[in-house]
A and B are shown apart, each in its own frame.
Chain A
Amino acid sequence: MLEDSTGSPVPAKSISRMMDKTPTPRIVLDLHEKLLSRFTALFSKGVVVEARTGCTLREFVCEQLRVPEEYLEQRIQTIFLNGKAVDDYATAIVTDGASLALSAAMPGLVGAVFRRGGFYAGLRNTVTHQSDGSAACAMAGSVTVKLFNLTVKEIGPLMLKNGVRVGGKDLQGLLVQFADDFQSGCRQALLDDQPISLDKLTGRLATFDQVDLRISESSD
């Protein structure tokens, strides 16, 4: 079995990705910090993070996304793993190809219903995540992470600085939608380590299925 640099087995899906000869384009944007909020739509749809999978949800969020445990415990009140509400992040296992969504507390009855381990969790028992009890098997993989509401502002910038994989057309859509903001707030754009104008980058993005995006921010 193929292993990654940490000695973890590499799943078939990841092997398939590795065999794809075309490297994913790398984009770095040096932006004014106020522009970080413009990436909301990307996080709603979900960004891909290359990570060690087969770990608990707590380990994935706190150790790999580097979100403080206190934040996970107190701020993130609703979690979905593969579309199912998670009550116990210490036992839920994040596997390769998983989709993970994080949300702060939500209003209303349904907000209460989907709350992690909440009083009304029983009202959504058909869409509650059930841990299968199998042992975690660490391996390199990828996870789609979605951030909703307050978590976009609070975790989003951290993830953008660490780097995420997004759809080329999705990023292009944002750069077009907020073209004036990006023109005035983007100090530099790099494509595969080479400087490129924002206009040219925007034009080329549609030709990329996915891009690795990293943001560096400045406040002035």
Chain B
Amino acid sequence: MDKILRINMGADGGPQFSEGPVGDYAGLGGRAFTSAVVATEVPASCHPLSAENKLGIAPGLLSGTTAAMSGRLSVGCKSPLTGGIKEANAGGQAAQVLGRLGYAAIILEGKPKDGTLYKVLINKDGVKIAADNSLCMLGNYDLVDKMKSEFGDKITCISIGPAGEMKMGSASIAVTDMEQRPTRHAGRGGVGAVMGAKGVKVIVLDDTDMSMRAPKDPDKFKAANQAWVAGLRKHPVTGEGLPAYGTNVLTNVINEAGAYPTKNFMWGRFDTAGKISGETQAETETARGGKATHGCHRGCIIRCSGIYNDKDGKFLTKQPEYETVWAHGGNCGIDDLDAIAMLDRLDDDFGVDTIEMGATIAVAMEAGIAEFGDAEAAIRLVKEVGKGTPLGRVLGSGAAVTGKVFGVERVPVVKGQAMPAYDPRGVQGIGVTYATSTMGADHTAGYAVATNILGVGGNVDPLTPEGQVELSRNLQIATAAVDSTGMCLFIAFAVLDQPDTFQALIDMINAFYGLSLTADDVAELGKKVLKFERGFNERAGFSSKDDRLPDYFKNEKLPPHNVTFTVKDEELDELFNF
């Protein structure tokens, strides 16, 4: 994994590729890699859909090895949704396969001079790029089937659906899972629109005859990986809770806390949340012959996903995540798991971010386009997006645009990106992260609950607003660090509670690369990434005024606890003082 594949989609005579060493990007993986590329090579003032923007696709530092949980793929660019830097990531098979093919990153540059669509094949024999307009407007499921018929059933696909081709702000990039279904998505920020602007419909990866990457110190690496796996398996979250119920296990708890955004963030509790909870979802999946426990890529031992079958026992979609169930469920007043699963399937097929799409439908419902709770109407609206009708184009552009078009005041976005499934009035610290993240409102921006282990916890009083800013800052640093290893963020809990498990992760990286990194080094990497990203956003025109929640979160009380967001602007402005 010591080379970068650059494909210039706008070269004279058609796309040209070149391979080169990682150079200054050596030692970076995942988000650290993509953010460094964007911050260094992309003019901050460029239009996100222009030839000047670049799309970086990078596996993690340990992808393609036997390290458990090392299958996260980062995608980075200037975001068409936020106008700032973006890193979105996904599970699935691609990171592992790219690693075994020897690539530290693929960078798509330029754009075709006409509307030609291309497919890219990467295997042991090299790289082939071919025009193929027969792929135009195919959904991700049909597209993958077509690629399988052409290239065999050992492939992994990175692709866009119609939404990416139409360059919508909510467009995602799909990655196929172990069953070669396009169910895992780098969803946030419209990264699929940038891939669409580059004219790349699909990147087909085939690692047949390629070997696992070999560590510099195999014995130490093996021992560290064993300790790593044992640590994840013994923890109640990574070893029991997530495998049993998936991320949707959060629905009942967040709802009970009164922090479950309901009907476009009007209430903090959804009366019938139990019908769409992780517990109910797992029961439904099992009863229909699906699976409540399933990995999204080989080498995953947490297995927080699942298989959701329809009432006839036929595959409908993968187990919808908590954020998806919330966005299309409680946030739209919908308590029908089958309808939510159908919406998840449509989102995956059209290639749109489930959070952005659910938030957008809720804004449209508030505007009167449909009634809250009308599942059929929600499905109809998402189909409009897939068809690219005028209404669909508006909705596909995201919650912020939809709110403007239909004159809605209550639009839950920061930097143009929709908030995920936690009301910032109920969980104020999350609100700090929503406001200040370089990515726009993003729950994973401060997800890595490992600040104490990383030594960036500091001595703060978490009960004060200053303490909340401090904690959010440290969480964002820790998350940037974990994102840069390419490890699944769900490792965070085991890392939080078990210092020896975190040490095992560092030991794996050191044994693989022959390094002697410490926890401090990892924390420094997190800070470096955030500074890259913050610097890019400043050059793109962002200021502290963009680090704000919409005013209504400060003014409208959230039932049932009737709380508002109380962290002051000047306190938010302290976040990047490091």
Contacts and interface: CB of A to CB of B under 8 A. Distances in A.
B447 A108 contact: yes
Contact of B279 (A44, A75, A112): A44
A167 B543 CA distance: 54
A115 to B, nearest CB: 9
B279 A149 contact: yes
Interface stretch (B116-124, B194-202, B461-469, B499-507): B461-469
Interface string A92-121: 000000000101111111111110000111
Contact of B241 (A44, A124, A150): A150
Contacts of A149: 241, 244-245, 249, 252-253, 278-279
Interface string A105-148: 11111111110000111111111000000000000000000101
A80 B563 CA distance: 17
Contacts of B236: 75, 77, 104-105, 150
A83 B242 contact: no
B38 to A, nearest CB: 25
B471 A83 contact: no
Contacts of A28: none
B170 interface: no
Given A125-B428, A149-B249, A109 B237 contact: no
A85 B254 CA distance: 10
Nearest to B463: A122
A53 interface: no
A148 B475 contact: no
Contacts of B475: 109
A41 B259 CA distance: 20
A127 B250 contact: no
B561 A126 contact: yes
A124 to B, nearest CB: 5
Contact of B258 (A83, A122, A125): A83
B425 interface: yes
B240 interface: yes
Contacts of B492: 108-109, 112
B427 A110 contact: yes
A146 B254 CA distance: 13
Interface string B478-493: 0000000000011011
Contacts of B269: 83
Nearest to A110: B422
A150 B304 CA distance: 15
Interface in B75-134: none
Contacts of B254: 110
Interface in A50-102: 75, 77-78, 80, 83-85, 101
Interface string B313-351: 000000000000000000000000000000000000000
B430 A113 contact: yes
A40 B430 contact: no
Interface in B430-485: 430, 443, 446-449, 451-452, 457, 461-464, 467-468, 471-472, 475
A113 B462 CA distance: 11
B247 A124 contact: no
A80 B269 CA distance: 14
B274 A44 contact: yes
Contacts of A101: 252-253, 256
A75 B449 CA distance: 19
A84 B451 CA distance: 25
B426 interface: yes
B137 to A, nearest CB: 36
A152 interface: yes
Contacts of A24: none
Contacts of A120: 429, 449, 462, 471
Interface of A: 37-38, 40-41, 44-45, 75, 77-78, 80, 83-85, 101, 103-114, 119-127, 146, 148-150, 152
8 contacts: A44-B280, A107-B493, A109-B475, A110-B430, A119-B452, A122-B462, A126-B566, A152-B279
Interface of B: 235-238, 240-242, 244-245, 247, 249-250, 252-254, 256-259, 269, 273-275, 277-280, 283, 304, 422, 425-430, 443, 446-449, 451-452, 457, 461-464, 467-468, 471-472, 475, 489-490, 492-493, 496, 560-561, 563, 566
Given A123-B427, A127-B259, A149-B253, 15 more contacts: A37-B283, A40-B280, A40-B283, A44-B280, A83-B256, A83-B560, A109-B446, A111-B237, A113-B430, A114-B257, A119-B449, A120-B449, A127-B426, A148-B256, A149-B249
